[in-house]
Amino acid sequence: MTSKFNLCRNGFTLIELVVAISISAILVSFMAMFITTPVQAYFAQSRRATLLDSSDTVVRMMASDVRTALPNSVRLINNGSLVGIELLTTTDVAEYRDAAISPDPRGVDFGQPDSNFSTLGTFGTLPIPAGYYLSIGNAGTPGQDAYELTHVITPNGAAITASTDITYPGEDDVSLGSAMTFNFPSPSHKVFLLSGPTAYLCDTGAQTLTRFSGYSIATTTSTHNTAAKLYADGATGALVAQNVASCQFDIVAAASASVGQLVILRLLLSSGGDNLQIMQEMPVENVP
């Protein structure tokens, strides 16, 4: 007996395959339309959050340094695509005894070499670290400028020691390794203890803002107007912000001995088409 079977072939015709691919492409296009927008929004939100975090860091760090700067010590740095500010950072302040008052043998002898004097009140930073400075009467003018390292501030590397006075509680006895001539009394009888200079350099070429510290005081900003020069002098650099498109600093001079300098910062942060403009006024709260 002969049996006949009908054989059925399973599969797709070319037309069916083309139709299936076309429908899949349409579905993928619709899915992409619904997915792309949320993804783009996510990345845009991330960029903007990063810009906001950067602006907060810039304002917080700079305002803190400017606020505690030595009176009249903030100055501009300008070197082509590099702009910034430099200031002298104070870590403590006390009221000195003045030898001309009373007269007081334990006071500062202005206008003549002096290696010992006492303070009313004490420094919180004891012992005083190596490399620190003392400054009295800095007006920021020629002949009375701390950056000149004469008459109003102890020299680079000068030894400074201070200890609590046993006879007069609440006072410090200050000794200098070599005699120093302070020429200009402070209107408020303040002596400032400084850790040294701090600089902020804005490099629009590299789109960065960097903070430098831990280097020696120099008379002119040209000595420290690049990152390479600062590093060569032993500075430590810390990146404060990236995506810096433009940067401008202005300094308003102190109107009187009872008012400090005012630093005005204008900074533009830019990333992926998003821009954040910062304008911040930062006063120096210390006064001479």
d(C-alpha 284, C-alpha 260), whole Å:
5
Quick: pLDDT tens for 146-193. Answer: 999 999 999 999 999 998 877 888 889 999 999 999 999 999 999 999
pLDDT in tens, 60-116: 999 999 999 999 999 999 998 899 999 999 999 999 999 888 777 889 999 999 999
Query: In angstroms, rounded to a whole number, what is the distance separating the alpha carbons of residues 84 and 25?
Result: 55
**pLDDT at position 7, please?**
45
Domain residue ranges of the chain, discontinuous segments joined by +: 50-88+196-283, 89-194
- Note the maximum CA span of the chain: 142
Residues 224-252, buried b or exposed e (16+ Cβ, 10 A)?
bbbbebbeeeebebeebbebbeebebebe
Judged by average pLDDT, the poorest of 45-59, 68-82, 148-162, 207-221 is 45-59
The CA R_g of the chain, rounded to the nearest whole Å, is 32
CB 144: neighbour CB atoms within 10 A?
16
How far is it, in rounded angstroms, from Cα 77 to Cα 224?
A: 9
Beta bridge partners of 202: 83, 209
Q: How many CA atoms does the CB half-sphere of 195 hold within 13 Å? A: 15
pTM: 0.83
Higher per-residue pLDDT: 202 or 256 = 202
Q: What is the pLDDT of residue 41?
A: 63
Rounded CA-CA distance 40/21 in Å is: 27
HSE-CB at 218 with a 13 A cutoff on CA atoms is 18
Compute the average pLDDT of residues 121-143: 91
Looking at residue 261, its pLDDT comes to: 95
- Of residues 139, 169, 166, the one with CA closest to residue 151: 139
- pLDDT for position 115: 93
CA distances from 204 to 39, 245, 250, 275, 278 (A): 30, 6, 17, 15, 15
Do residues 282 and 263 lie in contact, with contact meaning Cβ atoms separated by under 8 Å?
A: yes
* pLDDT of 129 higher than 70: yes
Q: Give percent of the chain with pLDDT exceeding 70.
A: 89
